[in-house]
Amino acid sequence: MNVLKRPFWPLGIRLQLTLWFTCIFGLLLLSASVFLYKHLQTSMAGSLDSALQSRAEQIAGEIYLEDGRIQMHESVGDLPGFDHEVDKGPIPYDHVNDNILVRIFDAHGKPYRTTPAFRTLSVPKNSINQTLTGEPWQGTVKSNDGKQDARIYSRTITKDGQLIAVVQVGQFLGELQDTLHHIAKELLAMGVIVLLFSALGSYWLASRAFAPIHNLIRTARSIKEGDLHQRVPVPKARDEVHFLAVTLNEMIESLEAVFSRQRRFVADASHELRTPVAVIRSTTDVALLHASTQEEYVSVLRNVNMESERLGRLINDLLALARGDEGKTKLEREPVRLDQMADMVAANAEMLAEERNITIYRGQLRPTVVMGDETRLIQMVMNLLDNAIAYTNAGGSVTLSVTNDSRQAIITIKDTGIGIGPEHLPHIFERFYRADPARIRDGGSSSGIGLAIVEWTVQAHQGTITVDSQPGQGSTFTIALPTTPDIQPQKSLVAAGKSSHSISSAKHSI
């Protein structure tokens, strides 16, 4: 019952290929059979015409003229019924049933002798009139009852250039037609058998052709179970299956890299989330056991508040990246004065820099306008400044500049810090990646995803970010954002109050 309930349409690819192969082969087989049949028909008809011409020529050689009368040798005169005059009495029945078709006319076109079977045919008069003009006549005629066909050939008989008679010979086509019908039946039967074997062979070939696909399916199922180390076998032939296998292997390799990053991300995120929670718990445990004065409790609460802020910033950063990955983050599109925004972000970061004896310089701050989300852009610059301050030694400096050309705005943040090794440069924008974890400052807020947020913000604004760094010589981060040429820089585009609010929002929310 389940087999009967299975849908038979649409057909599977294997059955479709089998059906197409069988139909095409059937058409080719039919065309070949028709061509063979027509060729045999034409060949047998040509052979019959040649035989009639030879017979007429043979009979013509046995007829001669003597004393003005047509005479025949015995080989012709002995034909059944041929010794009777045309206008004489009845012909014996056995002579009528002889299918010998021979008829002779005199030089004036009057019947002289005819075989009995010839009288059953309806032969046109033109067959004699045309022959008397010297042009042989050949054609197919029907019997008087319309049930039989016969092939007739007419020619003249001449002796010493004198026309003495006309001879007509013929042959019933029943035997030829029976032979052709028999051949047609054999071709039909053989075609059906060959077509059946062709369908079976096509199905087998289709199955063999899809064998590599089944290997891909088995490998995909094993990968579905979690084994991303496997790869699809690649056929040596550079066909569609080869390119499909290569594409699947590339996809599996990408998935393996994604899952590897995801596992590392989950592990690192768990570690980062566990650290402030552990600090909060240990601090409160110590306070519950040993604190006795108000100052001690205030100190504990400050530490808890600081770690809570750090935990909140980490959670907000994670949420920002998650929303960005899902494409759910909506960016505001408004004119933003990058030079004014950068100046205010630098002023906000100067307090942290002074605590570490680091100087923030403002390079060129050329009036520049871009269309973008001000809060995201402020957070982008803040993260880069925090990163530069975190990895710059005391007494160093960080330089922030904003320039532009006809097509793009350029933000440059250059520090005199410890620099980044060439082996770390390809990975610095990965989440939770740190080139030198030991360099994280005490009390710092680095979560390992600041640069990942910077890269996402730049890409969301259709920009690019590059890094130039040498160990011990500092790093330079360069951001290029598309500008809006039809909007002229105005001081009112970014008000101080609005920017201050945006900086505060960038610190505490996403």
In tens, the pLDDT along 375-431 reads 889 989 999 999 999 999 999 999 999 999 888 999 999 999 999 988 888 888 887
Name the pLDDT band for 78 (thresholds 50, 70, 90): low
Average pLDDT value over all residues in the chain? 81
Q: What is the CA radius of gyration of the chain?
A: 53
| 233: DSSP letter | P
Angle between helix 338-355 and 496-508 (nearest 10)? 60
pLDDT by residue (tens digit) across 446-469? 566 788 889 989 999 999 999 999
Query: Contact at 8 Å (CB) between 396 and 379?
Result: no
Q: What one-character DSSP code corresponds to residue 493?
A: G
Q: Average pLDDT, stretch 305-323?
A: 75
Task: For residue 1, give every residue at least 6 positions away whose Cβ sits within 8 Å of its Cβ, in sequence order, or none.
Answer: none
pLDDT given at position 68 = 77
Q: How far is residue 11's CA from residue 18's CA, in Å, rounded to a whole number?
A: 10
Q: Give the bridge partners for 159, in sequence order.
A: 162
Q: Are 252 and 232 in contact (CB under 8 A)?
A: yes
Give me the pLDDT at residue 396, please.
94
- In sign, the C-alpha dihedral spanning 194, 199, 200, 206 is positive
- Average pLDDT score over residue span 215-231: 72
Q: Report the alpha-carbon angle 369-374-377, nearest 5.
A: 90
**Dihedrals phi, psi of 137, to nearest 5 degrees:** -120, 140
Q: What's the length of the chain? A: 510
Residue 509: its pLDDT value, please? 46
pLDDT value of residue 393: 92
Question: Amino acid identity of 379?
Answer: Q
pTM equals 0.50
Looking at the predicted structure, is the pLDDT value of residue 440 above 70? no
- Between the CA of residue 78 and those of 81, 85, 114, what are the distances in Å? 8, 13, 12
- At residue 153, the pLDDT reads 94
Amino acid occupying residue 493: L
Per-residue pLDDT, 510: 41
Sheet order of strands, 111-114 included: 111-114, 101-106, 162-172, 149-159, 137-142
Mean pLDDT, residues 121-147 = 90
Query: Residue 112: pLDDT band by 50, 70, 90 thresholds?
Result: confident
Distance between the two ends of the chain, CA-based, in angstroms? 59
pLDDT tops 70 at residue 371: yes
Of the candidate ranges 119-123, 468-472, 500-504, the one whose mean pLDDT is the lowest: 500-504
pLDDT attached to residue 344: 93
Q: Give the DSSP letter string of 173-201.
A: SHHHHHHHHHHHHHHHHHHHHHHHHHHHH
> Backbone phi, then psi, for 268, in 5-degree steps?
-70, -40
State yes or no: pLDDT of 10 exceeds 80.
Answer: no
